[in-house]
Amino acid sequence: MTGLFYLLGVVIFATAIMASIGLHELGHMIPAKKFGGKVTQYFIGFGPTVWSKRVGETEYGVKAVPLGGYVKIVGMLPPGAAELADEVTVDAQGNQVVKVRKSNTGMFTQLVSDARAAEWETIQPEDSERLFYKMAWWKKVIVMAGGPTVNLLIAFFIFAGVFATYGNPSEAKPYGPAVSEVVDCVLPASELTRTCKPTDPVAPAKAAGVEAGDRIVSFNGVPFTTWEAMQDEIRSNADGAATIVVERDGQEQTLTTNTTVTARPTSATDDKLTQVGFLGVSPTFNGLVTGGPLYTIEQMGGMAKDTVIALGTLPQKVWGVAEAIVGVHPRDPNGPVSIVGGGRIAGETVSEESFPVKEKAVFLLMLVAGFNFFIGMFNFIPLLPLDGGHIAGALWEAVRRGWARLRGRPDPGYVDVARLLPIAYCVAGALLVMGVVLIVGDVVVPVRLQS
């Protein structure tokens, strides 16, 4: 039965992510068609086609590798100056045919030229006024921003629903030095969900006789009124002797033990693992904070700031996953995961017998919302081939044309994003490598659900 629940969690998560991807692509396709653009393909997934159906001028379908999706908007790349002379020719029947002359000077020049040629081979003469690159700059921004904006809206509605009805799990704070749980043993940071084995060391608090419901009065003679202050004292105690005074049923008791050393995140805001003193107790938390749309926007603003910081350190964190794969050090339990890792976490959540159904549902919703929020933020990075790269190109076109008008200069024309394709290929290669590393890491050294 546990295996079936695990599979159910994976299916729920995968379905939610695929639906999110489909809605992301609709966010591109709907405004593109509204503005008169021609969309020839709408696919979820990559690789070989599993199923497709043509409706009007658009082919809708599903591909074999469910790791993304795309829409094909005609005319994303303008013809280069050297190709314009050969843009339109006439065949034997007198019909106009679009044709682009290729250039073979230099590797990157050839790549750009080939990309232009592939783009224009699908364009018919009647498409000349429906090309994406000819749209007004603000229309291009709306089309390209539509996809990631949909992901952010999905995240907003999920977060808003959870915050309004259940509360914000991340806003729960330790309520004084009161103990809610005493763990039985010391587990590695990457294996916190498994049960204790006879070979695992007994947790110091368990050995000392600390019980759930105790209020810790002092640790090694230092009195406390907050959990955070006590936690700092424990972490700095390493494997030293510990004298703990607890209040139980109105009476104070003195307990003795030795804290042990184990790897744990450096702090609530720093996921790097650090060897620290460990006691083995969890705090009692106050009630969850609830709020409406404005509260949700405020929380997402903080998430956006944290995500920007996380994106800056993403290559370093992925490198850490690569080191964990080859056994250099344990995997950071708070590091990045792929969709595969997200599916595993969802499966573990649903199959975990100690979790109430309500908490399982909230966790899954927050997981899906978190993925959507990250996907939305990630796609706004102003680099091709991401949506943000096209948005940046459209905005630069607006600035360049506006500046030319102010100075009475001729219109400089459309921004040629094709010239940035070498950068796009490098970025795409880096994203592919990071994606593969994360997927392999999620299979070989997966992040386990932390209870």
Q: Supply the DSSP symbol for 37.
A: -
The label of the residue with tokens 């000349």 reads 128
Measure the CA–CA gap between 351 and 344, rounded to whole angstroms.
11
25, 83, 119, 352: which one is catalytic?
A: 25
- Quickly name the fold that domain 173-285 has: Pdz3 Domain (2.30.42)
Q: What value does the mean pLDDT take over residues 408-416?
A: 87
- Residue with the two structure tokens 């969802």: 346
User: pTM for this one?
Assistant: 0.76
User: What does the DSSP assignment read for 222-266?
Assistant: EE-SSHHHHHHHHHTTTT-EEEEEEEETTEEEEEEEE-EEEEEEE
pLDDT above 70: percentage of residues in the chain:
88
Query: Which helix or strand (DSSP H or E) is residue 273 part of?
Result: strand 270-278
Higher local confidence (pLDDT), 422 or 148: 148
d(CA 130, CA 159): 38
What does the pLDDT look like over 90-147, one tens digit per residue? 555 555 454 544 444 455 566 677 777 777 777 888 888 889 999 999 999 999 999 9
In the block, which residue shows the tokens 């599979």?
A: 7
Identify the pLDDT of residue 371: 94
298 as an active site residue: the answer is no
Mean local confidence (pLDDT), 206-231: 84
C-alpha–C-alpha distance, residues 50 and 52, integer Å: 7
Q: Which two tokens stand for residue 260?
A: 């042990």
**C-alpha separations of 74 from 47, 51, 69, 181, 363 in Å:** 20, 22, 16, 59, 40
11 half-sphere exposure, CB direction, 13 A CA radius = 7
CA distance linking residue 287 with residue 113, whole number of Å:
61
> What does the domain layout of the chain look like in residue ranges?
173-285
* Res 257: pLDDT: 87
What's the CA gap between 356 and 3, in Å, rounded? 17
Q: Express each pLDDT in 166-184 by its tens digit.
A: 888 877 666 667 888 888 8
Residue with the larger pLDDT of the pair 285 and 437? 437
What pLDDT, on a 0 to 100 scale, did the predictor assign at position 91?
54
Reduced to 3 states (helix: H, G, I; strand: E, B; else coil), residue 63 is strand
Q: For residue 310, which of 363, 356, 220, 373 has the smallest C-alpha distance?
A: 373
82: pLDDT strictly greater than 90: no
pLDDT greater than 70 at residue 382: yes
Q: Average of pLDDT values for 20-45?
A: 95
Residue 84 confidence class, pLDDT cut points 50, 70, 90: very low
pLDDT of residue 223: 87
